[in-house]
Amino acid sequence: MVTLPNNNIDNIRMQGTSSKTEFDIFFKKYYTLFLSFACRYHLGTEEARDIVQDVFIAFWEQHEHFTSIIAIKAFFYRSIANRCLDYLKHEDVKNRYAESQLETMQSEEFIQENIIREEVSFIVRKKIKLLTPREQEVIILSLQNKSNQEIADMLSLSVPTVKSHKMHAYARLRTELEELRFLLLIL
């Protein structure tokens, strides 16, 4: 428990049980100090706040293990430093990945592939809209990797009915999209 002999927060001792009031006093006194320390790692204010709050939570969960204010402050400074460094390392990895992706995305091949994908997707969606409403539902769910049983349960149909709708829908789509198949073969 955080005890405050003579109401002096600098003489905090941990003794097995906890007092929310004492913790609140400690939080109010040291939060700004620890936040300022976290900000020295060139983090955004929100990221620094999140890290400091996470460390306060970690402290609260194990506060009975601390015997002095020096140990508590050491825990906070080390924990905040480690979490800030971990955050920065993670951001560095994300930035390097984004840079490598940017190079790929700037290639003419990437642009052409995505134009083709979007155009094909647009054509397929347009052709699906020509199906009956029930066939549309079945095909859309099927394209979301739902099993025949899942589709049947979702639409209150029998599995053979789902299979029949899929068979008819795919037959119509094959006919409607025949021109697209030849176009894709040429590309």
| Whether the Cβ atoms of residue 58 and residue 100 lie closer than 8 Å to each other | no
First to last CA, the chain: 72
The answer to whether residues 91 and 64 belong to one domain is yes
pLDDT in tens, the chain (187 residues): 444 343 444 445 444 335 778 888 889 999 999 999 999 998 889 999 999 999 999 998 888 888 888 999 999 999 999 999 999 999 999 888 888 888 888 888 888 888 888 888 888 889 999 999 999 999 999 989 999 999 999 999 999 999 999 999 999 988 888 877 766 666 5
Same domain as 176, residue 99: no
Identify which of 164, 141, 2, 22 has the alpha carbon closest to the alpha carbon of residue 69: 2
Q: Are 43 and 51 in contact (CB under 8 A)?
A: yes
Give yes or no: residues 97 and 172 share one domain: no
Could you tell me the pTM of the whole model?
A: 0.50
SS3 labels along 32-44: HHHHHHHHCCCCC
Residue 147: what residue type? S
Query: Of 55, 77, 103, which closes a domain?
Result: 103
